[in-house]
Structure 1
């Protein structure tokens, strides 16, 4: 159950257990519930393929605020496609009133080659559900390093954004 607007109580109202459960128990259940798993799509100009690697995602929604995390671990049969990489999010990002056409929600990213860590940012543009990573430029088959089909090559992305 998603968080709901609390009800307005009336003086002298007889409160039923079902009303209390909906107003108190169910609201707290939403706050303390666990994360939900999902499988992100990984796309580019020429489609990459995870092969025997791993691509997993999880998210937690509280009210209209979604935090999503994605992990990609390259396998020996992973292919990297061509062009900038994009990862799907579980929900579309909201377009807050009064924001510019370029409004983005920002998060973090990190990539690992066999020996080096690369840190950067992740971003989703309002009105979309597509996440990009930058370390220092858009992630691609050669950025932030020349990715290899090996489990020592992996990436993590995290973002918190308002949903529609």
Structure 2
């Protein structure tokens, strides 16, 4: 819960309530625990279905800066949809600049990738090498960077500027 600092006036009496609001509460928001959220996982053509997999997220928002961590664990009944994969953000992104975060896939190989947040976006696009033998990035799909199965994991960590 961050807010704009107070503009003080000459002769104003400083009280414990004002100090708590202006100083304690601002610091508490910076040092607060992360807030859990459930990201939405979609495909650009057909949506994946999590079924018995798990998808968890958490964020820490300080002002308009939002730090996010997401973990996707594939279950034995998870289906992978078609087209590139997209994960929802806890807040819409600002209108300026792209943001790039770190992604890590683990199935039959460990593959490093990126999550890209475009201006004004409410989702981030997952990019990994198309296969474990190439270095250029493609959208993550049911078969890129690996053929996904139960036990596969994707970890994502990124920071972006929110719209509000």
**Same-fold call, TM > 0.5?**
yes
**Counterpart residue number, 2:34:** 35
Runs (4+) of structure 1 exceeding 6 A deviation are none
Alpha-carbon separation, structure 2, partners of 1:6 and 1:42: 37
Q: CA deviation at 1:110?
A: 0.6
- Pairwise CA distance, 1:11: 4.2
User: So what's the TM-score if we normalise by structure 1?
Assistant: 0.89
Partner of residue 121, structure 2: 128
CA positional deviation for 1:4: 2.1
**1:89-100 paired onto structure 2 within 5 Å:** 89-96=89-96
Across the aligned residues of Structure 1 and Structure 2, the Cα RMSD in angstroms comes to 1.2
Instruction: Provide the residue aligned with 2:134 in structure 1.
Output: none
Q: Deviations over 1:80-100 (max 9, x none)?
A: 01111111011000013xxxx
Structure 2 segments unaligned to the other structure (5+ residues) = 130-137
Number of residue-to-residue matches in the alignment: 154
The alpha carbon displacement at 1:12 in A equals: 3.6
- Counterparts of 2:75 and 2:3 in 1: how far apart (Å)? 43
Structure 1 CA distance, aligned partners of 2:118 and 2:12?
A: 46
5+ residue gaps, structure 1, are 97-102
**Structure 2 length as normaliser, TM-score?**
0.89
Distance in 2 (CA, whole Å) between partners of 1:38 and 1:7 is 31
